[in-house]
Structure formats: C-alpha cells, structure tokens
Structure 1
C-alpha cells in the first residue's frame, strides 16, 4: 500500500509506538502523560491496545466516552509493556483487515497518542509521517465544521496552510502562524489558549478558541514537547 494510504499509515504508526515503548525503561512509562494527565504512559498504551481489541470485538461507542477508555486501561492493569505490545501486534493484521472494510478511524487515535507519548518521554519522532498529515487534515476538517458561520480562520505553518472556508489566507479574518507540528497538536486540543493567542498575527482568535477544544478542554499549561 502507498505511504499515503491511511491503513498503511496506521501500520507505520503502530510499529513506531511499539518500538518506542519497548526501547524506554519500563519505569519511564509509569510517569503521568501531560497530555492525558489521568494516565501514565503504560495506561495510555493500554488504551490504544484496548481500542484495537474493542473495535474488533464490535464495542466502539460513537463518542469514545471516558468510561469506555478507562475500562480498557483497567482491564490491562496487571500486564507488562511486553504483554501489551504482544496483544497489539497480535491484533494488528485483523485490525488492518477491519479498516479495509470499515474505514481508518483507529489511525486518529494512534497518531495523536503517539505524540502524547513522545512528549511525555522526550522522544520526538513521527512528526513528518503520513499519519500526521492525514490526521491533521481530518482534524482541520472537523474544526472547519465547528467554525461554520464564523469569520474565516487561517492556519499558516512552515509547509501546511489551511483556511476554514477554503478561501485564500489573505481573505481570512483571523490568521494564526506556527510550526506545522504545533498546528497539528492544536487541532488535537493539545495547545493552550494562550499559545493560540500568541500565534495570532491577524484578527482576534478568542471567538474561535472553543473550536480547538473538540477533543477535550485545552490544557492549562504548555505540554512538554
């Protein structure tokens, strides 16, 4: 499959995360993940592993509510990192086949949480992957829907540029400029309101801030990434 195929991108992200968690000392995964402060790194790994298992088992609520995700963590509380990776790898082929029939929603979860883990572990990587590009565009589309009827917003990165109404950047009422990875993380509710304000080079982002909270409340403090 080509690298731009979302299922192939899931495969790549899956293997990057497996390699990452197997490469760090196990105790490092017992620290809290700032982007998901209620969970440790091992908890976050349990969630992405559990999501794959639940999707294959036909248990995937539309809203991915907190009780559902926490149950994935609780069910794996006594498993080692190696056991979690073995479970995830054991489900990988079946999940790839499932995505071929039902769509690649699981890509969003693994790509977003890969960066959560990397930030927590100070192990950067994957920022220029096909998965990040695909999920960034999906999250931007989601933001565009949330901002319908509001003055146009433009996000201008080093390479990537987007406008909420599909028009030119010059016509946008509000323009934010930042690095491509920062913009991706902002689209995933991983940047503070103050960071978004600091990137504003035209207009006032205040009335658009709630659109960036589509995956949860914006963090109170910048994440260590």
Structure 2
C-alpha cells in the first residue's frame, strides 16, 4: 500500500518545509537558538521544539510529563498551554541536542509516511486529545511547519519559500477561515460582499458573500459593489492571519477600501491561529 492520493500533497508540503527548517537551523551556533521569532513568546529553539513535539505526537510518542512555569505571560488559554508543554520541556536543550532530535524525528516521520496505508478518514488522536481524521492531521502538520518555517526565516534573516508547496496548503486553510472571519466575527452586513485581492508569490482574488441569513461563503468571482475591498501582498496576508503582526504595524502594506467600520472589524479579527 502507498499513501492515499488525497494525502500526498500534505506529505510533500510537510517534507519540503521540514527539510528547509533542518537546513536553516543545523548550522546555528548556541546563541542563535535564542533569537526571537514573530511567533508570540517563542524563540528559534521554541519553534523547533514545537515542530519536533507535534511530529513525535503524530508518531504516537507520549507527551512529556512536565509542569509549566507560572510566569509564561504569552499563555492565555488551554490550547496554548497544551502546545507549550513540548516547548518548555526542551527550553534548556543545547544546539546539538536540538538538531539531533530534529534529525531523528524527521527520519522516523519519513518512514511513517512511506508506510502509511490508512484512509484519509481514519480517526487519529489530535491536539488536546480530540479525535480528528488523518487528512485533517496531515493538513494541519503541513500548515504548521510552513508557517513556522517562515517564523524561523524572519528570525534568522533568511527569507524564502513563500511559494513552496506548503504555501498552497496554507492559502487553502486560511481561505477556509475567511467566511467566519467576515460574516460571524466581524458581523458584515447581510446581503453584502467583501473582496480580497492578494498579490505576490501566491496570488488570488476571492469574494466573501454574505447572504440574507448572515452566512458567509467563499467565491472565486468578484462581486459588484462590494462593501469592502482589501488589497495586500501574500506575506502580509499570512502574517496577519497567523497573528504574527498587527493591522497597525502593516497599515502601509494593506489597502482597505469601503465601509471603514467593517474594514477595521475585519482586520481586528483577521488572526485565526491560536
């Protein structure tokens, strides 16, 4: 048996990003592992620890038995507390310990993917102990490692791979969140439309159309007379949607036209990652 065709793009995206992460961090000296990344509260070491931790969970390894300190002020909810456990357990690991564990984890995960014969709908254990489909789990890993690859690139001054296979997964996941962001979180007017025009390494033009019941749907065709239009580059879109920056910090890179209250509300609710 081989990997199901539905899962192959996620495996390819994960592989591309994890290899890029390994290439980025392998030559780092000890002090560079402490560099701050755009991911709130996390250093280079913390980001790599998180990547290792979630991939070992995909392998079925037990989570570390560890008590979190009380002074981690970037932890504000249970989801973040769950994610922090794998990170804090490795906070005192040396550079060689980090790179060797990353390398070993990648070898094990590659072997797992080569032997994966389960169907996309097979239920597996996800974060917080919740059961999710294998397809969702693999999509989440592809999303996660690409976003964290970009965190590391920002911290280390090594931009790149904005159009790699992982970017396509990230685009689709973030677009899937837009109807909720616009219609529910930002309370866009009923029977209206909002357009997003994104340019750069990844380009797309999408409309969120809100029906008479206030439900939002994603469409590929532009709407006439939209309530708002956003024009921005792909990197800024990702940084906003993943909570790596604030609307004020990138105001010069986002052109928002139309209803000012609505555009402000959408930008305020744009971050969809926890």
Scaled by the length of structure 2, the TM-score of the pair is 0.68
Find 1:154's aligned residue among 195, 201, 207. 195
1:144-195 per-position Cα deviation (integer Å, ceiling 9, x unaligned): 2232262432221223222223241544321111222222222222231225
Secondary structure in structure 1 of the residue aligned to 2:248: helix
Judge conservation of contact 1:49–1:87 (CA < 8 Å) in 2: no
Distance 1:111 1:64, change over 3 A: farther
Scaled by the length of structure 1, the TM-score of the pair is 0.81
The answer for unaligned runs of 5 or more in structure 2 is 64-76, 121-133, 210-218
Shift of 1:100: 6.5
Judge conservation of contact 2:22–2:99 (CA < 8 Å) in 1: no
Secondary structure in structure 2 of the residue aligned to 1:193: coil
Distance 1:25 1:100, change over 3 A: farther
**Partner Cα separation in structure 2 for residue 59 and residue 172 of structure 1:** 50
**Partner Cα separation in structure 1 for residue 55 and residue 14 of structure 2:** 11
Q: Which deviates the most, 175-184 or 63-72? A: 63-72
**Partner Cα separation in structure 2 for residue 186 and residue 168 of structure 1:** 22
Say whether residues 1:113 and 2:153 are aligned partners. Answer: no
RMSD over aligned CA atoms reads: 2.9
Q: How many residues are matched?
A: 213
Judge conservation of contact 2:46–2:87 (CA < 8 Å) in 1: yes
1:68-112 per-position Cα deviation (integer Å, ceiling 9, x unaligned): 211101222325332232232133225533897401221111111
Higher gyration radius (CA): 2
1:121-142 per-position Cα deviation (integer Å, ceiling 9, x unaligned): 1110110112112212211211
The answer for unaligned runs of 5 or more in structure 1 is 217-225
Secondary structure in structure 1 of the residue aligned to 2:42: strand
Find 1:182's aligned residue among 213, 236, 257. 236
Q: Which deviates the most, 20-29 or 65-74? A: 20-29
> What's 2:10 paired with?
6
Structure 1 residues 78-97: aligned runs within 5 Å = 78-79=93-94, 80-93=97-110, 96=113, 97=116
Shift of 1:48: 0.7
Structure 1 residues 23-42: aligned runs within 5 Å = 23-33=27-37, 35-42=38-45
